């Protein structure tokens, strides 16, 4: 095959983007295996050590394992709630007889709301949750994360729900199937790739969210991003511990991406071939 200059330029650009993403990531991971002195002195060659990882995981002053569990609870719960609500909302918008202006207004508002910086909402949420007793609780953090990620999930699920063949729905209705039956036995299996893609994105965004979690949580409910930030104190910044905890924090997202990769690819290529 003849390689065109255009193809070479595209591959070179893609490789440059990959290097721009991978080099900082590899540097952070490598920093977790260094000592504080080696890192600050800027040595290129160093003897790997697990001190930072042991300090993060097993030190009496570190709550990283608790924070890791908190992030799993918040991330999984908010993802499940987002997927359920987004699927029902997408079904209502695209399969029920709503006026067109209602659909456009709702989706437009969801898009605009998704553009609002989360930090601008944190103060109001803190006041509201404290008034109803949900401050420093998983419920408050989950509700905040669901609110932040639901617009994106609705947009994504709307794309897949629209692709469900109307003939299948009509046939099910003729056979006497109820709406819950149609959703559970027809719609959900067909939009499974969309659920996987939306689920991965919602979980990753919830897992990495910092500003809202910092304002709504305390020691008992702090998440992983909050835990990483705590290694930067007024008189000391534990760079290697921050790097080690950052390296550990990517494990759930990587596992989720590996498990759901085939569903995501299937969802992205749905309809490409007839």
pLDDT above 50: residue 271? no
Domain boundaries, the chain: 60-268
Report, as an integer, the average pLDDT of 43-70: 88
Is the pLDDT at 163 greater than 90? The verdict is no
**What is the predicted pLDDT for the residue at 134?**
86
Angle at 59 between CA 57 and CA 65, to 5 degrees: 35
267-181-163 Cα angle (round to 5):
30
pLDDT at 268: 54
Distance between CA atoms of residues 175 and 223, nearest Å: 48
Can you give the pLDDT at residue 232? Answer: 83
CB atoms within 10 A of CB 192: 14
User: Which tokens in the block code for residue 218?
Assistant: 């305390």
Angle at 199 between CA 98 and CA 265, to 5 degrees: 100
Give the pLDDT of residue 71. Answer: 94
- Look at residue 1 and tell me whether its pLDDT is greater than 80: no
**Would the pLDDT of 263 be above 70?**
no
Q: Is 20 exposed, middle or buried (0-12, 13-18, 19+ CB in 10 A)?
A: exposed
DSSP letter at 42? T
CB-based contacts of 87, cutoff 8 Å, min separation 6: 157, 161, 183, 187, 188, 191, 195
Beta partners for residue 11, in sequence order: none
- pLDDT of 270 reads 53
Length of the chain counted residue by residue: 274
Structure tokens at 184: 């559970």
Place of tokens 């993802």: 79
Span 25-40, pLDDT tens digits: 898 899 889 888 888 8
d(CA 34, CA 40): 10
Summarize the confidence of residues 94-123 as an average pLDDT.
86
Confidence of residue 264 (pLDDT cuts 50, 70, 90): low
Do 118 and 148 form a contact (C-beta atoms < 8 A)? yes
Q: What is the pLDDT of residue 265?
A: 63
Whether 235 shows a pLDDT value over 80: the answer reads no
- Class of domain 60-268 as given by CATH: mainly alpha
């Amino acid at each position: 095959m003849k390689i065109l200059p255009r193809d070479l330029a595209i591959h070179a650009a893609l490789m440059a983007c990959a290097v721009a993403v991978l080099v900082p990531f590899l540097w952070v991971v490598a920093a977790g295996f260094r000592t504080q002195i080696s890192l600050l002195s800027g040595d290129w060659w160093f003897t790997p050590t697990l001190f930072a990882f042991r300090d993060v995981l097993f030190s009496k002053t570190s709550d990283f394992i608790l924070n890791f569990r908190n992030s799993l609870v918040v991330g999984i719960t908010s993802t499940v709630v987002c997927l359920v609500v987004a699927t029902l909302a997408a079904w209502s918008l695209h399969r029920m007889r709503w006026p067109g202006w209602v659909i456009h207004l709702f989706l437009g508002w969801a898009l605009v709301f998704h553009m609002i910086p989360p930090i601008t909402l944190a103060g109001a949420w803190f006041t509201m949750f404290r008034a109803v007793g949900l401050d420093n609780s998983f419920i408050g953090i989950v509700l905040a994360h669901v609110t932040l990620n639901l617009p994106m999930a609705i947009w994504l699920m709307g794309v897949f729900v629209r692709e469900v063949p109307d003939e299948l729905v009509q046939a099910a209705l003729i056979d006497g199937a109820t709406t819950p039956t149609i959703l559970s036995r027809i719609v959900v299996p067909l939009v499974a790739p969309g659920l996987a893609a939306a689920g991965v994105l919602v979980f990753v965004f919830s897992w990495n969210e910092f500003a809202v979690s910092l304002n709504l949580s305390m020691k008992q409910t702090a998440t992983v991003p909050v835990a990483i930030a705590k290694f930067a104190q007024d008189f000391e910044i534990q760079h290697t511990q921050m790097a080690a905890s950052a390296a550990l924090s990517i494990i759930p997202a990587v596992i989720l991406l590996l498990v759901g990769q085939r569903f995501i690819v299937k969802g992205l290529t749905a309809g490409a071939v007839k």
